[in-house]
């Protein structure tokens, strides 16, 4: 059968459609096109910088039907790869893009290995063609995502990561920046979220190209906030299911509203499915760095060498401070470096305060951070500055002391605590938050009147030591579960102590009296002397001390008599005897004063020992009960909820009602400090509502009355019906308005006919 008017060689889309349906029947036409492709390619090699339309069309055609004739087109992918590798910088932009699209078609049909194609595309990132680079970036990310869709392909990932590592060091800035962006995007999409990718990106922080360095540094600062914002914006744009259902019920039924309701129901089902799904947690990139100490030291060294802009220095300082705080690193030169910039007039000073607080941790020697704290107190917390500056300084000191409480000394803390009575509310609240912090961490540093009444949580507090680590072999607070289920067991009866009332007492842990004698200023000044349980112990101890003191007095008298008798016998003359008696009386007075001091010391020491014993008994009881629960049973989620509530109750027990106190929780406190914690300033409103209304009225004086203006020349003349209608009540007009709204077609016809007849009559 002879084909008349055969237009297949010229009409490639039609031929492509027929070949996909029946490849064998149209093999001759395909071979004819393949031969044409080879001749066109040879011609194109002579002038690669010009666009060849016939080659462009035939390359796309062959790529789309390549799966139908894999044996014939076996060398086709390699031919295009050779052209791109040889003439990549010389090629016409459209032709280069066509060849790349053809290779992507072959890759989608599994006729090309991903490593070969992706390595070629990374080389093409050097080309000065922005559209091509963006196109290749999206394909590389999508292709790697598809490769790792079902399971991680370690072989391909390792090859590509090694290639990207070499690309980051490339002399071409565009290629290096694009490869860094691709790796960051793959990490954020949880495709390459391993330690190797992070450490490859970490090498980009030391790149000579500023763009690459900044991109890698910003990656380590995290993108969680941006993702949350995007999610929130997406959720805000979604229609509310209740609103849509109400609109569909009340308004007119239309297909559009039905579609909106169906879409809203789908979104609701999707959100419920998301809520039931377990949340996936990923480690931050800073956790996955192999050698954070070396990385931080290199960044700090680079900061001193490079003469970058201030914004880039801030980003670098932020990364270093996060590394130090997260991994508890030692970079002692970092604090004096930041100390130079801690001035109220310094640009972005709140961020610098955030960095200094972020980089402080318990293992930093207090001697290193103490000059920084004094600088903050001298430069910020002075009455020369405004109230906002003072509040920010106190907030920064609080955040530093939260992470490294040993840096604070008693004198400085007591000076800062006096600002709790400052006239400005912002300073007063910042000082009180600092007092609240030390009430539950190191109350001994505070003045006695600032310590407040001890709670169950603060009774067992001890003065921390540098480098001390407290590791528990039990779940803290588990003793609270004994109240419900384990009270009747024999094991609990062994643990319970005879005096159960000891838990109901509140004890002054400090055991030291106020140096200035201002005991009357405190809210609970008789807390040490009026303990009912201590009275019996103190009586017994007092009797013993009195007996011992009486014996000491008798011995002193005997010694005195012996001395006088011997002196009288040995010396002659009344004058000498009088001199000797004067000397002995002076010695006697000194001995009496010494005895009194010893009595006081003994009394204080015994009181201290009694309180320490009581404190130890309470802690031992709690530990024994907690270890019993932790070892005997497996704790459920409900048990942990009870434990958390009991621990929270311990912090508030015996505190005044309505008294707000600062209770920093280590579990809620994240790895990094929020800038809002330092910039948080309490403002007092200067006026209440009534005074603000009066000030508004005062501003309206002498101004024209707001509202409708009567433009009539004679205010006594009558008004039009239209003006009168505005004043009338709605009940008088509703029957007229009802006739105009939602008229039927027939009513409209009648109204139109009457209107036309009226016009005809008027003519």
Average of per-residue pLDDT values in the chain: 76
Predicted confidence at residue 572, as pLDDT, reads 41
The CA-CA-CA angle for residues 490, 492, 494, to 5°, reads 75
Predicted confidence at residue 269, as pLDDT, reads 78
CB-count exposure of residue 184 (10 Å: 0-12, 13-18, 19+): buried
Q: Is residue 491 part of a domain?
A: no
Predicted confidence at residue 333, as pLDDT, reads 93
CATH number at residue 419: 1.25.10
pLDDT tens, 696-715?
Answer: 888 888 887 777 677 777 87
Q: Phi-psi region for residue 761, left (φ > 0), alpha (ψ -120 to 50) or beta?
A: alpha
Predicted confidence at residue 757, as pLDDT, reads 94
Q: Is residue 709 part of a domain?
A: no
Count, in order, helices (H) and strands (E) of the chain.
Answer: 33, 0
Predicted confidence at residue 657, as pLDDT, reads 38
Tell me what percent of the chain is helix, strand and coil, each rounded to the nearest 5.
Answer: 65, 0, 35
What is the C-alpha to C-alpha distance for residues 585 and 363, in angstroms, rounded to an integer? 58
What is the C-alpha to C-alpha distance for residues 116 and 78, in angstroms, rounded to an integer? 10
| Average pLDDT score over residue span 638-650 | 74
Residue 496 has pLDDT above 60, yes or no: no
The answer to whether residues 508 and 454 touch, using CB atoms and an 8 Å cutoff, is yes
pLDDT category, 600, cuts 50, 70, 90?
confident
- Residue 83 tokens, joined: 């052209």
Count of domains in the chain? 2
Q: Is residue 92 part of a domain?
A: yes
Q: Is residue 493 part of a domain?
A: no
pLDDT category, 228, cuts 50, 70, 90?
very low
The answer to whether residues 481 and 492 touch, using CB atoms and an 8 Å cutoff, is no
Q: Is residue 422 part of a domain?
A: yes
| DSSP label at residue 240 | P
pLDDT tens, 625-636?
Answer: 777 777 777 777
What is the C-alpha to C-alpha distance for residues 205 and 209, in angstroms, rounded to an integer? 9
pLDDT tens, 398-448?
Answer: 999 999 989 999 999 999 999 999 988 889 999 999 998 888 888 888 888
Q: 423 in helix, strand or coil?
A: coil
User: How does DSSP assign 80-117, residue by residue?
Assistant: HHHHHHHHTTTS-HHHHHHHHHHHHHHHHTT-S-HHHH
Predicted confidence at residue 540, as pLDDT, reads 46
Predicted confidence at residue 553, as pLDDT, reads 53
Lowest mean pLDDT segment, chosen from 194-208, 377-391, 528-542, 583-597:
528-542
112, 136, 156 - which closes a domain: 112
- Strand locations in 269-394 (E): none
Q: For residue 65, give its domain range.
A: 1-112
50, 77, 112 - which closes a domain: 112
89, 112, 135 - which closes a domain: 112
pLDDT category, 622, cuts 50, 70, 90?
confident
Q: Is residue 14 part of a domain?
A: yes
Report percent pLDDT > 70 for the chain. Answer: 73
Residue 373 has pLDDT above 50, yes or no: yes
Predicted confidence at residue 359, as pLDDT, reads 92
Centre a 10 Å sphere on the Cβ of residue 519 and count the other Cβ atoms it contains: 16
Q: Is residue 338 part of a domain?
A: yes
pLDDT category, 218, cuts 50, 70, 90?
very high
**CA dist list (Å): 415 to 381, 410, 426:** 10, 9, 17
Predicted confidence at residue 441, as pLDDT, reads 84
Q: Is residue 41 part of a domain?
A: yes
pLDDT tens, 87-116?
Answer: 877 888 888 899 999 999 898 888 888 888
pLDDT category, 535, cuts 50, 70, 90?
very low
Q: Which of 626, 602, 315, 345 is nearest to 481 (CA)?
A: 626
User: How does DSSP assign 462-502, residue by residue?
Assistant: ----TT-----SS-TTGGGGHHHHSTTSHHHHHH--S-GGG
pLDDT category, 670, cuts 50, 70, 90?
low
More confident residue, 565 or 643: 643
Q: Which of 593, 622, 310, 293 is nearest to 480 (CA)?
A: 622
The answer to whether residues 318 and 355 touch, using CB atoms and an 8 Å cutoff, is yes
pLDDT tens, 11-31?
Answer: 888 888 888 888 888 888 888
């Amino acid at each position: 059968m002879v084909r008349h008017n055969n237009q297949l060689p010229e009409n490639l889309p039609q031929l492509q459609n027929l070949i996909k349906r029946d490849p064998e029947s149209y093999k001759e036409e395909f071979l004819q096109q393949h031969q044409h492709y080879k001749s066109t390619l040879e011609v194109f090699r002579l002038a690669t910088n010009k666009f060849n339309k016939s080659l462009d069309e035939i390359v796309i055609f062959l790529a789309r039907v390549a799966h139908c004739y894999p044996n014939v087109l076996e060398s086709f992918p390699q031919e295009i790869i050779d052209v791109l590798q040889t003439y990549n910088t010389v090629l016409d932009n459209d032709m280069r893009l066509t060849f790349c699209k053809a290779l992507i078609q072959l890759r989608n049909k599994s006729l090309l290995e991903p490593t070969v194609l992706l390595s070629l595309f990374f080389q093409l990132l050097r080309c000065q063609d922005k559209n091509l680079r963006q196109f290749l970036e999206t394909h590389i990310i999508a292709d790697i995502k598809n490769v790792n869709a079902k399971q991680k392909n370690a072989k391909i990932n390792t090859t590509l990561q090694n290639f990207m590592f070499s690309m980051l060091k490339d002399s071409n800035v565009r290629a290096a920046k694009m490869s860094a962006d691709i790796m960051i995007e793959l990490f954020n999409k949880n495709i390459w979220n391993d330690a190797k990718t992070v450490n490859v990106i970490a090498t980009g922080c030391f790149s000579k190209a500023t763009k690459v360095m900044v991109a890698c540094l910003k990656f380590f600062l995290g993108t969680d906030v941006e993702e949350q914002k995007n999610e929130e914006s997406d959720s805000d744009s979604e229609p509310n299911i209740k609103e849509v259902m109400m609109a569909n019920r009340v308004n007119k039924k239309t297909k559009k509203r039905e579609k909106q309701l169906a879409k809203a129901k789908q979104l609701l089902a999707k959100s419920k499915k998301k809520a039931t799904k377990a949340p996936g947690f990923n480690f931050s990139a800073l956790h996955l760095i192999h050698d954070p100490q070396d990385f931080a030291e290199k960044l700090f060294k680079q900061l001193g060498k490079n003469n970058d802009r201030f914004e880039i220095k801030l980003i670098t300082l932020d990364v270093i401070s996060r590394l130090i705080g997260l991994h508890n690193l030692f970079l002692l030169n970092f604090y004096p470096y930041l100390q130079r910039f801690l001035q109220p007039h310094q640009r972005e000073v709140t961020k610098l305060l955030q960095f200094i607080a972020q980089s402080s941790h318990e293992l930093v020697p207090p001697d290193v951070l103490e000059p920084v704290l004094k600088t903050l107190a001298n430069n910020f917390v002075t009455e020369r500055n405004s109230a906002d500056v003072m509040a920010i300084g106190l907030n920064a000191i609080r955040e530093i002391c939260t992470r490294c409480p040993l840096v604070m000394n008693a004198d400085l803390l007591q000076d800062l605590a006096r600002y709790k009575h400052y006239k400005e509310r912002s300073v007063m609240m910042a000082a009180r938050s600092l007092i609240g912090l030390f009430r539950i961490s190191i109350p001994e540093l505070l003045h006695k009147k600032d310590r407040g009444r001890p709670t169950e949580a603060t009774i067992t507090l001890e003065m921390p030591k540098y480098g001390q680590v407290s590791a528990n072999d039990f779940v803290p607070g588990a003793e609270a579960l004994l109240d419900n289920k384990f009270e009747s067991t024999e094991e609990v009866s062994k643990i319970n102590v005879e005096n159960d009332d000891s838990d109901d007492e509140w004890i002054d842990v400090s055991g030291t009296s106020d140096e200035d004698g201002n005991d009357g200023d405190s809210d609970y000044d008789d807390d040490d002397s009026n303990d009912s349980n201590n009275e019996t112990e103190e009586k017994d101890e007092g009797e013993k001390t009195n007996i011992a003191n009486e014996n000491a007095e008798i011995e002193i008298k005997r010694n005195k008599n012996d001395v006088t008798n011997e002196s009288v016998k040995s010396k002659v003359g009344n004058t000498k005897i009088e001199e000797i008696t004067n000397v002995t009386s002076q010695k006697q007075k000194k001995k009496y004063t010494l005895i009194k001091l010893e009595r006081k010391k003994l009394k204080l020491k015994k009181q201290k020992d009694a309180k320490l014993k009581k404190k130890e008994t309470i802690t031992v009881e709690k530990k024994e009960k907690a270890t019993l629960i932790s070892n005997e049973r497996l704790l459920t989620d409900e048990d942990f909820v009870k434990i958390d509530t009991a621990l929270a109750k311990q912090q508030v027990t015996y505190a005044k009602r309505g008294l707000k106190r600062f209770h920093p929780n280590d579990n809620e406190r994240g790895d990094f400090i929020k800038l809002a914690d330092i910039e948080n300033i309490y403002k007092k409103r200067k006026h209440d509502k009534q005074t603000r209304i009066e000030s508004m009225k005062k501003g309206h004086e002498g101004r024209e009355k707001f509202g409708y203006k009567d433009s009539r020349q004679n205010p006594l003349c009558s008004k039009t019906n239209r003006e009168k209608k505005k004043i009338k009540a709605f009940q008088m007009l509703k029957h007229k308005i009802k006739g105009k709204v939602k008229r039927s077609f027939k009513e409209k016809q009648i109204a139109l006919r009457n209107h036309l007849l009226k016009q005809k009559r008027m003519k």
